[in-house]
């Protein structure tokens, strides 16, 4: 059977070879067309510099149904020149995958905002793309959680490892956690990364923290784990009181601070903490944290000087509300308010209105703060910044 089968294959070899040749030619032609299409698309997208260049009028985003949170975060991403430079270098996915590619749809939306002449555009395609990844319309989102969701989708779908690493370097915070038994010398150390620093606005006794610097200092204070929070000590062989502490190892170019203004009550309901909490335009971590709260060399610490870049503010209550973004243009050094389709220039006094007031729950209060390094270790060439 094997020999007979072999003779039959040899007798059909010229016909098979001709078929394979034709298929190969067709495949080469299709590949050429796809390559040309990708090149044309890349050339077109290469001209996109990002909405951060506000020499032209800023562009808003229409609200498609409770998408104010998404719109605010997108504007913060797009106004960050270093982010748009990473986004513009992504690999264009195959036609079958473009509809569900978050980085690609964000890039198309950026192009639409940059090249269009409208005062606002509809992020419809991106919204449908996100819906395929369980980010639905007509749902009220928490800005900190949605920021993490978008970040994870971007990292997961970027195929170039170098771009993924650049994106991580741009936003990721590195810390070292310590757990020390209070009965013996047993200690556990672990390194971890964070996208945001979740800062409490109340201390353990429910007293209001007065400034952003106080929130940062409180976040890095050692915490005693006693009672029900005790940990098992391998050396003692039982649960013992532990001391939990964190040390800052590395801060990224773009630092995100999450003000935890939504407080969970024992009744499982939440309420918003709207008391005044000032935050500075300039922030130097060397002046905020102690030596025991930092694990970095002098070169690293020298870069821990920041200037405020953007504020995502929330107005309303925990159950319903609205988001908008105040963003400082890195090219014009001016503040803008992005409120869905409405964009206007504002002053620093307008931004300070997001500090909050206890007697005005509906008033805008800062929820996410984005700080940009004043003196990055490796500044991007040709980027004009007012830092």
**Residues in CB range of 99: below 8 A, 6 or more apart:** 105, 125, 128, 129, 132
CA–CA gap between residue 52 and residue 34 (Å, rounded): 31
For the chain, the C-alpha Rg in angstroms (whole number) is: 26
φ, ψ at 382 (rounded to 5°): 80, 5
**Residues in CB range of 101: below 8 A, 6 or more apart:** 93, 129, 157
* 68 classed as catalytic: yes
Catalytic residue among 233, 322, 324, 337: 322
Catalytic residue among 68, 69, 294, 324: 68
* 250 classed as catalytic: no
Helices marked H in the chain — which ranges?
Answer: 2-11, 13-46, 68-79, 81-87, 102-115, 124-131, 143-157, 161-171, 212-219, 285-288, 298-301, 348-352
The DSSP bridge partners found for residue 369 are 257, 311
3-class secondary structure, 260: strand
Is 258 within 8 Å of 348 (Cβ atoms)?
A: no
Is 55 within 8 Å of 309 (Cβ atoms)?
A: no
CA–CA gap between residue 72 and residue 270 (Å, rounded): 23
Quick one: CA dihedral 77, 81, 87, 88, positive or negative? positive
CA–CA gap between residue 371 and residue 222 (Å, rounded): 25
Catalytic site residues? Answer: 68, 322
């Amino acid at each position: 059977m094997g020999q007979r089968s072999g003779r039959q294959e040899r007798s059909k070899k010229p016909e098979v070879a001709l078929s394979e040749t034709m298929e190969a030619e067709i495949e080469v032609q299709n590949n050429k067309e796809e390559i040309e299409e990708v090149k044309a698309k890349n050339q077109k997208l290469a001209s996109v510099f990002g909405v951060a260049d506000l020499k032209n009028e800023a562009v808003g985003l229409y609200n498609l149904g409770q998408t104010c949170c998404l719109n605010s975060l997108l504007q913060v991403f797009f106004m960050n020149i270093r982010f748009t430079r990473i986004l513009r270098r992504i690999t264009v996915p195959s036609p079958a995958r473009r509809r569900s590619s978050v980085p690609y749809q964000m890039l198309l939306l950026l192009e639409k905002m940059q090249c269009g002449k409208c005062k606002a555009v509809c992020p419809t395609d991106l919204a449908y793309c996100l819906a395929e990844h369980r980010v639905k319309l007509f749902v009220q989102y928490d800005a900190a959680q949605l920021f993490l969701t978008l970040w994870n989708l971007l990292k997961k779908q970027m195929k170039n490892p170098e771009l993924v690493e650049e994106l991580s370097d741009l936003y990721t915070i590195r810390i070292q956690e310590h757990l020390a038994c209070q009965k013996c010398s047993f200690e556990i150390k672990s390194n971890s990364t964070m996208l945001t620093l979740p800062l409490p606005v109340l201390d353990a006794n429910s007293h209001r923290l007065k400034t952003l610097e106080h929130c940062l200092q409180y976040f890095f204070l050692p915490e005693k784990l006693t009672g029900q929070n005790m940990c098992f000590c391998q050396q003692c062989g039982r649960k013992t009181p532990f001391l939990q502490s964190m040390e800052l190892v590395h801060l990224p170019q773009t630092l995100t601070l999450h003000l935890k203004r939504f407080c969970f009550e024992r009744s499982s309901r939440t309420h918003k903490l709207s008391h005044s909490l000032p935050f500075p335009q300039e922030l130097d971590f060397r002046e905020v944290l102690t030596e025991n709260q930092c694990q970095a060399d002098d070169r690293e610490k020298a870069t821990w000087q920041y200037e405020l870049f953007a504020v995502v503010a929330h107005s309303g209550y925990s159950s319903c509300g609205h988001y908008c973004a105040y963003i400082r243009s890195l090219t014009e050094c001016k503040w803008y308010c992005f409120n869905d389709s409405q964009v206007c220039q504002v002053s620093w006094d307008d931004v300070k209105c997001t500090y909050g007031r206890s007697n005005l729950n509906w008033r805008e209060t800062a929820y996410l703060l984005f700080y940009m390094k004043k003196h990055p270790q490796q500044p991007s060439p040709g980027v004009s910044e007012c830092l």
